[in-house]
A and B are shown apart, each in its own frame.
Chain A
Amino acid sequence: MANLFKSIKHIINKKNIPTNQKDHQSSLVKREYSKDQTEDWEKELTKSKDYQKSYYFNQKSGKKFTLTYFSTLVEEKVMDNNAVPPLLEGEFYTIADVKKLLPIADVELSNSSNDIPEMLMKGFVMLTLEGEKEFAFISSPKQVVRSVSAPEIEFSVVGPKEAFVEAIDQNINMIRKRLPIKELIAEQFIVGKLSLTKVCVLYIKGITNKEIINTVKQRISDLEKDEIADSSYFTQIISDNGNSPFPQLLDTERPDRVTSSLAEGKVIILVDGSPHALIGPTSLTEFFNSFEDYFLNWILATFIRLIRLFSVIFSIMVTPLYVAVVTYHYQMIPKDLLITLVTSRRVVPFPPILEVLFLEVTIELLREAGARLPTKVGQTIGIVGGIVLGTASVEAGLTSNVLLILIALAALASFTTPVYQMSNTIRILRFPFLIMAEIWGLVGITIAFCFLLTHLLRLTSLGFPFMEPVFPLRVKDFKDALFRLPFKSQAKRPQFLRTKDSTRFSKEKANKKKDIDE
């Protein structure tokens, strides 16, 4: 028992697992097991219910053989249909004959008992033959893969309708199909002492800046964590400032978005078990771009982007401004609006800040309840909460109806942000603004804004400035930041990525539309 623990410790000791090797199989360091240790682990494995060891004998040669495997990791149908019948009915005497006999391509021969646990864990079936020291590993891993479905978070009306799934190979397949070039590199790392998660770093050689690639590779190989459940772990662990409420890596479930980011010269991180890819380096404006923008005419897309920008500012600022103006700056209210505000405020027994906090918290509760409940119940909660609670609280005189409209609009505006992580950030941001507005009015809002701006200016994404192109000012990069200009003006890659090849296509050729007889 003690020996077993020692050996497990030995396995999970990360230093023995070189993580940046492309081929995982060959990367596992051979470990020496003594005879009694082997028996020990076998004893341990038999405690698991899915550990199977079955005894057979060959009808022609009369040789006895055993098949050992984990039933949950092995596709038993393949075994029963393709492996077992030839083994029973075919003729073989040595383990080498097995390899010829079986219709399965991946059959490995080995005589080192140290490989056994790892190979079994990978979904191999071990075949031992009576009187032979050597044994064969027959590959028949079980593929439990969800089929590719339409994107749910980054839904688009037009454009491709496929989203990443949890299997990393499937995800890389989707990207490679869109970028069938040899320059697309997918480097694999193994991360996590227990989970041994496969992580892939994708980039296009000859376009992406080496510095970005090295930064990402270094951060991943330096990562210390026992298990990795999702790519969002990476956003938090490897991003430049883990204490910032702003996500510094863009996550997406769309292979098309990933492809276009790769073409821009960015780096993609794919994590096995996560249907989200991470894109880096990124900038603040990118979080307010939906990939659907590229499927629309550039005028429409620019308009929609500006609407989103406005809604972000509106969502953060509207309730703090309400608090500031109603509490301190009655002078700013136009005379025509005064009567609406005063009559609706008069019945409310609370100061403006409490009134606002009450409603803001209600909205957050509704959102959280809606998110935790199953979809169908969630919709009901939204309607019941929104309409019933809102109207009732106005009628009960707990809030003013002007504020109710503002809060509802602010909540609505916060949902226009296409990236979920960022829309959460935006909802949180208004609370410090509210407190400052309550304390110092508009001056407080200004101070809070200064703090926010300072924070944003200091943020970096994989070492690249987060506020780009606003600061540092890169006028040319505005072509695909706040605006989306037509494709013909996008002939250059973004300046701030410092790509090795800055030209995407020839602008001159793109502008020409030849006549049919030219």
Chain B
Amino acid sequence: MKKSHFIVAVLFCMTILSGCVDRKVIDDVNIATGIGIDKSGNQFLGSIMIPVFKPDKSFGNFTFVSKGNVIRDLVSEMQKKASQPIVSGSLDIALFGEDVAREGLIKTLDVFLRDPSVGARVQLAVVDGKAVDIFKGRYGDRGNSQYLTQLLEHNMNQQNLPITNLHRFLANFYKRGQDPYLPMLKKSNHNLVTITGLALFKDEKVVDILHENKMFYFKLLVDNHILGVVKVKEAHGESTVKSIGLKKKMRLIRRDPYTFSIKIKLKGDLTEHQERMLKEGEIRKVEKQLAKQIARECKMLIEDFQRKGIDPVGFGHFAKSRTRSFDFKKWNTEYKNAKFKVSADVHLIGHGVVE
């Protein structure tokens, strides 16, 4: 091909194909940052939160609400009310009312899964109450979506909340032998939202809610790293320990019945102790007490899951990965009979600068 022909062909393609791309100029779209789905009678009540950028560079929030049977339907219903197209590429957070979550999330999530512009790191959460109500509050000065995502993210990274997002939720959901879990939010007043616990799923339905004060032990079991805080009570009084390092070893010891051993090695920092100064030996006592407490609480959690037939820690997946020709049909009954040995070792490497 001659060079001139080539150039003409390229120019031709450029002119013809330039119309093929969907144009979304940043100030001509409504950028959805939060989506909420609730139940209203037999129908879904959808809400989409949009940041309003005021000329003085402060945020406002606006929420579109509509009813429908299918989620896409809700969105097209809202488009009828919006002056500019609502686009979902910058979605930060998706909230589900508890009633929706108890009936199953996957059919509502389907709309996100099919849209390539929705990121995998969208935060999901279950709401104690209505998701619309959360969107209608006014939190912080960076907009509601920033507040909500940062609330979840900093609790995941620096506190006791286990790490979740759309990607992890789906991975846990589609992985056989593990059930997903999501944080639970509650609107405490017009300006604040609190994390009240963890919604535990069986397949796609919420079956139980883990209280917020058990989350530390749960995070020990499911995450590889924890910076959370835990309380210890022993003879000298209460103290708080901040975890700064975690090493966890899970092993499958026997297969009939399935016996798992979980060894938790925690490095911590004593951040607060009531009453008086601690002596060398007494720190050992705190360590031992905390180790005992962790082993006990974790074992209680696991046994509780066993009773309810849910497996958020992923023992089924773990057993499968270590067993040739693993049979998931038998696993359901075998899980109920499985035995767990939890041992913990705590080492407090710092106890403040006062000494």
If A330-B87, A346-B27, A439-B18 touch, does A340 touch B57 (CB 8 Å cutoff)? Answer: yes
The answer to whether A339 and B53 touch across the interface, beta carbons within 8 angstroms, is yes
Q: A335–B33 contact, CB under 8 A?
A: yes
Could you tell me if A326 and B25 are in contact, using CB atoms closer than 8 angstroms? yes
Contact A330 B29 (CB under 8 A): yes
Per a CB cutoff under 8 Å, which of A326, A330, A333, A342 touches B53?
A342
CA distance A144 to B14 in the complex (A): 56
Q: Tell me the bound Cα distance from A325 to B23 in angstroms.
A: 11
Residues of A8-61 at the interface with B, using a CB-CB cut-off of 8 Å, are none
Contact B26 A339 (CB under 8 A): no
Question: Which applies to chain A's interface (DSSP): helix, strand, loop or mixed?
Answer: helix
Asked whether B119 is an interface residue with its Cβ less than 8 Å from the other chain, the reply is: yes
The reply on A155 being an interface residue by CB < 8 A is no
Assess whether A406 is interfacial by the CB under 8 Å rule: no
B144 to chain A, nearest CB (A): 11
Confirm or deny: A102 has a beta carbon within 8 angstroms of a beta carbon on chain B. Answer: no
Annotate A334-359 by CB proximity to B: 1 below 8 A, 0 otherwise.
01101111110110000110000000
User: Which interface class (under 10, 10 to 19, 20 to 34, 35 or more) fits B?
Assistant: 20 to 34
The answer to whether B27 touches A328, judged by C-beta atoms less than 8 angstroms apart, is: no
A424 on the B face (CB < 8 A):
no
Tell me the B75-115 residues at the A interface (CB within 8 Å): 87, 89-90, 92
Q: Chain B interface secondary structure, helix, strand, loop or mixed?
A: loop
**B24 contacts across to A, CB distance below 8 A:** 327-328, 330
Contacts of B33 in A (CB 8 A): 335
Closest Cβ–Cβ distance, residue A60 to chain B (whole Å): 78
In-complex Cβ contact of A335 among B21, B26, B146 (8 A): B146
Roughly how many angstroms separate A279 CA and B182 CA in the complex, as a whole number? 67
Q: Does A441 make an interface contact (CB < 8 A)? A: yes
Interface residue total, chain A, C-beta cutoff 8 A: 23
Measured CB to CB, the nearest residue on chain B to A326 is B26
Expressed in whole angstroms, the Cα–Cα distance for A345 and B89 within the complex equals 19
Complex interface bits, B11-36 against A, C-beta within 8 A gives 1, otherwise 0: 00010011001111111010101000
Q: B183 at interface (Cβ–Cβ under 8 A)?
A: no
Q: Name A299-350 residues within 8 Å CB distance of B.
A: 325-328, 330-331, 333, 335-336, 338-343, 345-346
Could you tell me which residues of chain A, from 434 to 460, have a CB within 8 Å of some CB in chain B? 439-441, 443
- Residue of A at shortest CB range from B92? A335
- A382→B17 CA distance, assembly (Å): 40
Q: Does B281 contact A (CB under 8 A)?
A: no
Q: Which of A330, A335, A339 contacts B89 (CB 8 A)?
A: A330
Kindly state the separation between the CA atoms of A139 and B33 in the bound complex, as whole angstroms: 87
Tell me whether B62 is interfacial, beta carbon within 8 Å.
no
Q: Which B residues are CB-close (under 8 A) to A328?
A: 21-24
Q: Report whether A335 and B90 are in contact in the complex, using a CB–CB cutoff of 8 Å.
A: yes
Contact bitstring A392-426, B, C-beta under 8 A = 1, else 0: 00000000000000000000000000000000000
Contacts of A336 in B (CB 8 A): 142, 146
Mark contacts of B316-348 with chain A using CB atoms, 8 A cut-off: 1 yes-contact digit, 0 otherwise. 000000000000000000000000000000000
Q: How far is the CA of A342 from the CA of B59 in the complex (A)?
A: 11
Complex Cα distance, B130 from A100, in Å, reads 117
A327 and B142 contact, Cβ closer than 8 Å, known pairs A340-B57, A343-B57: no
- Cα–Cα distance between A53 and B21 once the two chains are bound (Å): 80
Q: Are A351 and B25 in contact (CB under 8 A)?
A: yes
Q: Are B89 and A331 in contact (CB under 8 A)?
A: yes
Residue from B18, B51, B55, B90 within 8 A of A330 (CB atoms): B90
- Cβ distance B221 to chain A, nearest Cβ, rounded Å: 32
B26 and A331: CB pair below 8 A?
no
Give the most central of A330, A341, A343, A351: most B CB within 10 Å.
A330
Report which residue of B51, B90, B143 has the largest number of chain A beta carbons within 10 angstroms of its beta carbon. B90
Contacts of B21 in A (CB 8 A): 328, 439-441, 443
State the Cβ distance, B16 to closest chain A Cβ, in Å.
11
Partner of B59, one of A330, A339, A440: A339
Give CA–CA (A338, B92) in the complex, Å: 13
Instruction: Kindly state whether residue B145 has any CB partner on chain A within 8 Å.
Output: yes
Q: Which residues of chain B in 119-162 are interfacial with respect to chain A, using CB atoms and an 8 Å cutoff?
A: 119, 142-143, 145-146
Task: For B89, give the chain A residue with the smallest CB separation.
Answer: A331
State whether the Cβ of B189 lies closer than 8 Å to any Cβ in chain A: no
A26 CB, nearest partner CB in chain B, Å = 46
Contact yes or no, B57 A330, CB < 8 A: no
The answer to whether the Cβ of B117 comes within 8 Å of any Cβ in the partner chain is yes
Cα A416 to Cα B142 in complex, Å, equals: 38
Contact, CB under 8 Å: A345 / B90: no
A462 to B338, CA, bound (A): 77
Q: Are B14 and A439 in contact (CB under 8 A)?
A: yes
Q: How far is the CA of A138 from the CA of B97 in the complex (A)?
A: 107
Given A345-B26, A441-B21, A331:B119 Cβ within 8 A: yes
- The interface bits of chain B over 166-191 (1 if a CB of A lies within 8 angstroms of the residue's CB, else 0) are 00000000000000000000000000
List, in ascending order, chain A residues with CB within 8 A of B14's CB. Answer: 439
- Tell me, rounded to whole Å, the shortest Cβ–Cβ distance linking B224 to chain A: 27
Q: Are B25 and A327 neighbours in the complex by a CB distance under 8 Å?
A: yes
Given contacts A325-B26, A330-B29, A331-B117, 18 further A-B contacts (CB under 8 A): A327-B24, A328-B21, A330-B26, A330-B31, A330-B89, A336-B142, A339-B51, A342-B26, A342-B27, A343-B53, A343-B54, A343-B57, A345-B25, A346-B55, A352-B25, A440-B18, A440-B21, A443-B21
B residues apposed to A, CB below 8 Å: 14, 17-18, 21-27, 29, 31, 33, 51, 53-55, 57, 59, 87, 89-90, 92, 117, 119, 142-143, 145-146
CB pairs A–B below 8 angstroms (21 shown):
A325-B26, A330-B29, A330-B89, A330-B90, A331-B89, A333-B26, A335-B33, A335-B146, A336-B142, A339-B53, A339-B57, A339-B143, A342-B27, A342-B53, A343-B53, A343-B57, A345-B26, A346-B27, A346-B53, A439-B18, A440-B18
Nearest 4 A/B pairs, CB to CB = A331-B89, A439-B18, A345-B27, A342-B53
